[in-house]
Structure 1
Amino acid sequence: MAPDRGSHLSSSPISPPPSPSPPSVSFDSPEQEPTSSRARSDHACYASSSTHDSALDGTNFTFRGVAVGIAIGIIICFSNTYFGLQTGWVSGMAMPASLIGFAVFKALSPYLLVPFTPVENVLVQTVAGAVGTMPLGLGFVGVMPSLEFLLKKSEGAPIDLSLWRLFVWGIGLCLFGVVFGVPLRKQVIIRERLKFPSGTATALMISVLHGGAKPDSSQDHAIQTQGTEEREELLREDEREAQHSGAPGQSSAREQDLRADWKRQIRLLTIAFASSGAYTLFQYFLPILHKLPIFGNYLAHTWQWTLNPSPAYVGQGIIMGPATTFHMLLGAVIGWAILSPIAKHNGWAPGDVDDWETGSKGWIVWVSLAIMLADAVVNLGWLLLRPSILYGPDWVRTLLDHYHHSSSWSDLLLGRQLAGYLALDQDNGYTPRAGSSTKPHLTIDAPDDAPPHHLVSNRSVAILLPLTIILCVLCVHVTFGAYIPIELNILAILLALVLSIMGVRALGETDLNPVSGISKLTQLVFALIAPTGKHANHAIIINLLAGAVSEAGALQAGDILQDLKAGHLIGASPKAQFYGQLIGSVVGAFVSAAVYKLYISVYTIPGELFQIPTAYVWIFTARLVTGEGLPPMAWQYALAAGAIFVLTTVFRIYLLAHRDESEWCRRIHPWIPGGIAVAVGMYNTPSFTLARTAGGVVSLWWVHWKGRGETTVVVLASGLILGEGVVSIVNLVLASLAVPHL
């Protein structure tokens, strides 16, 4: 449940180097043989000279890199579990992981026999992200709490979720999405060159940290220009001047500026970390700081309008960006200032406002669910429909042309004309030559890629994918075999693979992996499947588990491809990243399960500190789609809200599709409310949303009003988030020792 899985760069994404139109081959007659031509590539366009040093080729995968990545990932895992149980927010934190890894090895550089390289930095970030995102990927901030704490006896409670069962569950779910994502790399990164803005931004940061080398002179000039422009977004003004200066005497000054800049970034990260950590420790002894009644005691105690001035939530708002946080604020106003009083005063939610079952807090969740489902169905539907609209006519013309020029059925089915990769020009469309019949433009060879020994072989994927799917089936059956039949278990995995393709494409194009929408879509599909026999009373559990499997697959596939995009631009080994992701995922499965059990054993869940709103969203969705009754008037308001956000989502899609052509579309798009962000603002209490909105204002002031680069505020935000996340471990120890509050 993370509307902000991508960076806030998504509002104005950093684009990778433009994809030059692939060389085309025209056929004047069906007998003419195509000539092969290789398209130029963005591979290693941000690489430093050391990346191509054969002596350093072994740094693509090192035990020291894996170890540091795991250590950073464990910190992120604690942080994500803490914030996930509070509000459902989880972040991979790729850029701060890269920066921290760089700082660690820079500090150890006098003792290193082999220097720390950009490709090793990519490995550190990949492993750290794999470990850190497991709380979301394995359902430890949503599905597991809903099964353990919110399930009714009539729905199958109680369920044994002992630590060993969570270990088995985690091992089963943590691998198949990673393996499935690898064969998608050639299509979405090499051929289509989808943007993956966060992956591109991470590559740019690593490039700058290691010297910011320009692309090879042999590459296309357009790639050089675009790469330089993008890199400038991450550099200070004086660094830009140094980079543009071609005088040899200034190269040492430029290197000194770069070293000074990364030291400033590390200093900023450290100060933000320490400040946020100190505040978190202080907040333990003064719990009143979690809910400051800034609007007066009446609004605070009766309607839950308080402020949690947590630096971490301000940091989250900075990363989300102004548009997302303002949409969340709109959701808070609609939910907590309008709908909540209406439901309370009309007797539709007679309990306390803060009660999930009988209060307006639970009533407005149904409205937020309708908004989320509307957003998910429209966006995912467009992902399926868009290729047919854009490229359907070209595909039809190509197939018809191939049919007319085929001399036999074998030529039609196995002919050489379609043996290559059909590269449709996404910018200009298909234009036949005058005076000739319609002919396809084909690129026989894929664009440049990593050396073959750095690629994951098709044989490896063919072996590992079935094995990881079988492992997932067995582990889910061992853990929940008493509740979900094995055939539905297999169906959930297959559906997860299909939907993960949609998630990957959305992530590559928009920097947002719609795992929330994918899981809700899976829950809708499984609502149509009525379990029978001994599983007849387990519809809610089956629905939750199916959604968890689809979320895991989509998240892992998206994460590995986001990391592979960064590695592709740096020139790292995809095979090394793949192994690093597998190792990180396995470690993350054990760590995240242990951290989850640690938190629920010390704190009351759900409780004042950990309200597990995402778990309530999961269980309410399962009950909704399986036909359980809604509170009075909830379905009428939910239906109206869903209809409204179907229209707004369609309008957002239209604006996004035309923003490159129209300045008006580009300007207005960020301010049309997004369904997921509005829904999150509705089901989270205002105390969190107000703090995030403050962070959005900081981002707006720094980036848009002052016109400064985003790197500084991203580093600041990362320090604020990690500071509270890490010191929350200290608070966890204090709580377990029953240290009293003041």
Structure 2
Amino acid sequence: MHKKPHSKRFIHTNIPRFLISKKAVEMEMENRNEDKVESAVEFPACDDVKTNKKDDEEELTVEQIFEKKEKEEPSWKKQLTVRAFVVSFLLSIRFAFTVMKLNLTTGFIPSLNVTAGLLGFFFVKTWTKLLERSGMLRQPFTRQENTVIQTCVVASSGIAYSGGFASYLLAMSQRIVQQSDKNSTDYKNPALGWIIGFLFVVSFLGLFSVVPLRKIMIIDFKLTYPSGTATAHFINGFHTPQGAKLAKKQIRELGKYLSFSFLWSLFQWFFTATDECGFQNFPTFGLKAFQNKFYFDFSATYVGVGMMCPHIVNVSLLTGGILSWGLMWPLIETRKGHWYSATLDPEDIQGLRGYKVFIAIAMILGDGLYNITKVLSQTIAGLNNKIKENKTMNLPLANSPIKNPLSFDDERRTKLFLKDQIPNWFALGGYIAIAAISTAILPHIFHHLKWYHIIVLYIFAPILAFCNAFGCGLTDWSLASAYGKIAIFTIGAWAGSSHGGILAGLAACGVMMNIVSTASDLMQDFKTGYMTLASPRSMFVSQVIGTSMGCIIAPCVFWIFYKASPDMGMSTSEYPAPYATAYYEIAKLGVEGFSALPKQCLNLCYAFFAASIVINLIRDGLGKKRSWFIPLPMPMALPFFLGPTFAIDMCVGSLILYIWQKRNKDSADALAPAVASGLICGDGLWAIPYSILALVGAKPPICMKFLSRKTNNKVDSFLGS
């Protein structure tokens, strides 16, 4: 489940990236061949060429439209403007709060690519219009510059996911470790200095590992990269006349719902004097259901996330919540005193909490194992097919005529994509240099992680980075978290429990996740740049600058949350960080075995591990059109230890989108991403003043609490006496 968020482009989990535009991505997946993509999308002709040849203009392809509009493409250096990076920096801070909050609550991170591109378009377009009116505009705003902003912002905010603030890094902390073992002293608490240092030495390796493969992936193999392609369609659309008008409507809707979401969060704060007060504790379905976490908590964020998620994801979440909190946990609780001690604290890992955590982990591992096997097999098969195709295409003309000559768009894009080369010696030298520095520094940050562990990781990392980038190009499926879990088991078991294997495994997870995640993200950006005529050099530089921003911004934002929430990581906290607990227990399981599990827990884990694989097999066996009613195992697992509350919120968002699509599908497809982004960003924006108020000790003035009639009578009697 972790995407990139995270990833970076998607919910950073083991399910497909949340679609930037369902319509755009579905269309892209159906049109695998690049020469077919262009004919599937219609772009409006420019206003200044609307003449009596209107019918001819409607047949223009994307690049023919821009060739008429643009005199020449800006050089790669001109694409990297100061204003682009100023806007990127401001948007990176904004998005870091949003991603961090989602990371620390549910772990679901929707794609922010379109929001980044849209806000970048709005701010720079406003900037250039003001300068144009004053006669001071020197360089017009181009789609290439827009692509640079989008790349930089998503690279920066992506570190908020791959940095592990809600997973492997927080899993090392005393708060998480001592939930499982109260006497353990083998932990490493977060500190701003070492986190920033760690991110700087591991976050750039993935970029250098796949740079030499960019031509093979994009030009030779023509991989689809649906998220990157859909983002490019949006950016190209923004910069056509009618696309700019639509972008203004989207900005207006985003601003409207951002303001509403922020003000709603502010209003709710006044009624939350204690932890059990406020609208977020409203017993929507009754007090008994409320005790089992079935209620709507009026969260604009999760309603927005639900609008961005495919309907099957939201239904899967709710199904998992009903199965666990509605059926399983109440039944297991009746076995208290038989399967586990009745005197144990509810949060003890050897009690009911053990079932919640380990059964969810079993489903996550089962889903991860299935998908990593599936994607790797698809990667090998796809790679084999591409090699065969290239061999066929390279036969002499007399024996094998060229069947698919390049379209105008592909020819223009290929020419410019190959124009600004990034030398292979630069990529190889950069990887070796950063790997050497990292190998020297990491053992000083994590004493249990030895230099030979790191060297082994860096030998295998480029292979896994290639597999992740290639598989993502075929399926839009990032398996960064799955590769991270492999590192946990291998390095943790190698180090051993007596030599800090748990911390070593978690640190190794961070190293591997950062490499494979940034590798697939960079290749997505190369695809976006290919389709918007942005230079590979400008894409690489903007990715490096965005990653550098993220290595500073993300830890600082996390530190604000960490200091403002002393109970972060606890299941009762506003920021429960469910994946931190899961990652720690996975590391502990890999090093110490199953000795800590309560009775029958292991058998249930086996059953749900197998069920996760079987569900995936059934879904794939039935096919996409016939498996719409079968839930996804990965989203089902999350409510097992977090509760179904946020799933209800997301289902409300999904219901709103469904009704909207039924009433006006075109309007929903065009504006729903902006509305959802506004709801998410507005609530996320509230995190800044909320954190400041918490740090200065300001308390809400009112407690709005809900009591049963019996309890209320007791309170009245007590107050009356």
Structure 1 length-normalised TM: 0.79
CA distance in 2 between counterparts of 1:631 and 1:51 reads 67
1:131-161 CA distance string (max 9 Å, x none): 1111111111211211112124766534253
Partner of 1:504: 469
Paired residue secondary structure (1:483): coil
Distance 1:336 1:206, change over 3 A: same
CA distance in 2 between counterparts of 1:46 and 1:685 reads 51
Partner of 1:14: 27
CA distance in 1 between counterparts of 2:469 and 2:343 reads 42
Letter in 2 for 1:513: S
Deviation at 1:18, TM superposition (A): 4.8
1:478-500 CA distance string (max 9 Å, x none): 311x1111111222334443333
Partner of 1:275: 260
Counterpart of 1:422 (choices 391, 395, 419) is: 391
2:257 touches 2:678 (CA, 8 Å); kept in 1?
yes
CA distance in 2 between counterparts of 1:622 and 1:85 reads 19
CA distance in 1 between counterparts of 2:176 and 2:330 reads 25
1:108-153 CA distance string (max 9 Å, x none): 1221321110000000001101111111111112112111121247
Deviation at 1:378, TM superposition (A): 1.4
1:659-681 CA distance string (max 9 Å, x none): xxxxxx33223433222111123
Partner of 1:415: none
Deviation at 1:509, TM superposition (A): 2.7
Counterpart of 2:233 (choices 204, 219, 228) is: 204
Deviation at 1:330, TM superposition (A): 1.1
1:278-304 CA distance string (max 9 Å, x none): 112222222322232112112223x22
Counterpart of 1:725 (choices 684, 708, 718) is: 684
Counterpart of 1:342 (choices 323, 331, 338) is: 331
CA distance in 2 between counterparts of 1:622 and 1:278 reads 41
2:210 touches 2:462 (CA, 8 Å); kept in 1?
no
Partner of 1:644: 611
CA distance in 1 between counterparts of 2:586 and 2:262 reads 36
Equivalence map 1:149-168=2 (5 Å) = 149-152=175-178, 156-168=185-197
CA distance in 1 between counterparts of 2:522 and 2:384 reads 29
CA distance in 2 between counterparts of 1:52 and 1:553 reads 39
2:155 touches 2:543 (CA, 8 Å); kept in 1?
yes
1:77 touches 1:135 (CA, 8 Å); kept in 2?
yes
CA distance in 2 between counterparts of 1:353 and 1:512 reads 39
Partner of 2:376: 384
Partner of 1:221: none
Deviation at 1:530, TM superposition (A): 3.0
Aligned residues: 634
Distance 1:124 1:356, change over 3 A: farther
Q: Does 1:610 align with 2:575?
A: yes
Distance 1:736 1:387, change over 3 A: closer
Deviation at 1:501, TM superposition (A): 2.6
Deviation at 1:80, TM superposition (A): 1.0
Q: Does 1:364 align with 2:356?
A: yes
Distance 1:283 1:449, change over 3 A: farther
Partner of 1:619: 584
Partner of 2:138: 113
Distance 1:300 1:46, change over 3 A: farther
Partner of 2:513: 551
CA distance in 2 between counterparts of 1:311 and 1:46 reads 39
Partner of 2:250: 265
CA distance in 2 between counterparts of 1:351 and 1:389 reads 54
Distance 1:711 1:358, change over 3 A: farther
Distance 1:722 1:421, change over 3 A: same
Partner of 1:531: 495
Q: Does 1:562 align with 2:524?
A: yes
Partner of 1:677: 635
Partner of 2:269: 284
Paired residue secondary structure (1:512): coil
Q: Does 1:122 align with 2:86?
A: no
CA distance in 1 between counterparts of 2:429 and 2:163 reads 24
Equivalence map 1:423-502=2 (5 Å) = 448-450=414-416, 452-480=418-446, 482-502=447-467
1:327 touches 1:673 (CA, 8 Å); kept in 2?
yes
2:104 touches 2:575 (CA, 8 Å); kept in 1?
yes
1:448-492 CA distance string (max 9 Å, x none): 342545232212212212122223323322311x11111112223
1:223-272 CA distance string (max 9 Å, x none): xxxxxxxxxxxxxxxxxxxxxxxxxxxxxxxx3x5443222111100011
Letter in 1 for 2:228: G
Percent identity, aligned pairs only? Answer: 21
2:177 touches 2:187 (CA, 8 Å); kept in 1?
yes
Equivalence map 1:173-192=2 (5 Å) = 173-192=202-221
List runs of 5+ in structure 1 lacking aligned partners: 23-41, 212-254, 399-419, 656-664
CA distance in 2 between counterparts of 1:574 and 1:142 reads 32
Q: Does 1:65 align with 2:105?
A: no
Partner of 1:218: none
Distance 1:94 1:388, change over 3 A: closer
Distance 1:311 1:361, change over 3 A: farther
Letter in 1 for 2:147: V
Counterpart of 2:289 (choices 287, 299, 304) is: 299
CA distance in 1 between counterparts of 2:202 and 2:403 reads 39
Distance 1:99 1:633, change over 3 A: same
Distance 1:729 1:391, change over 3 A: closer
1:700-726 CA distance string (max 9 Å, x none): 333467433523111111111111111
Letter in 1 for 2:616: T
CA distance in 1 between counterparts of 2:686 and 2:93 reads 13
CA distance in 2 between counterparts of 1:282 and 1:570 reads 42
CA distance in 1 between counterparts of 2:345 and 2:289 reads 11
Partner of 2:647: 689
1:36-88 CA distance string (max 9 Å, x none): xxxxxx99688565566146764321122122112111111111112211122
1:142 touches 1:618 (CA, 8 Å); kept in 2?
yes
After superposition, the CA RMSD in angstroms is 3.3
2:217 touches 2:470 (CA, 8 Å); kept in 1?
yes
1:377 touches 1:521 (CA, 8 Å); kept in 2?
no
Paired residue secondary structure (1:728): helix
Partner of 2:480: 515
Distance 1:351 1:694, change over 3 A: farther
CA distance in 2 between counterparts of 1:276 and 1:456 reads 44
CA distance in 1 between counterparts of 2:22 and 2:344 reads 38
CA distance in 2 between counterparts of 1:163 and 1:310 reads 30
Partner of 1:75: 94
2:167 touches 2:579 (CA, 8 Å); kept in 1?
yes
1:345-384 CA distance string (max 9 Å, x none): 1124657996363553442221111111111111111222
Higher alpha-carbon deviation: 345-354 or 305-314: 345-354
2:461 touches 2:515 (CA, 8 Å); kept in 1?
yes
CA distance in 1 between counterparts of 2:374 and 2:298 reads 39
Partner of 1:586: 548
Distance 1:492 1:210, change over 3 A: same
CA distance in 1 between counterparts of 2:405 and 2:250 reads 45
Counterpart of 1:577 (choices 516, 539, 559) is: 539
Equivalence map 1:17-32=2 (5 Å) = 18-19=32-33
Distance 1:739 1:394, change over 3 A: closer
Partner of 1:736: 695
List runs of 5+ in structure 2 lacking aligned partners: 4-10, 37-60, 132-136, 273-277, 703-721
Equivalence map 1:648-667=2 (5 Å) = 648-655=615-622, 665-667=623-625
Paired residue secondary structure (1:182): helix
CA distance in 1 between counterparts of 2:663 and 2:483 reads 36
CA distance in 2 between counterparts of 1:739 and 1:75 reads 23
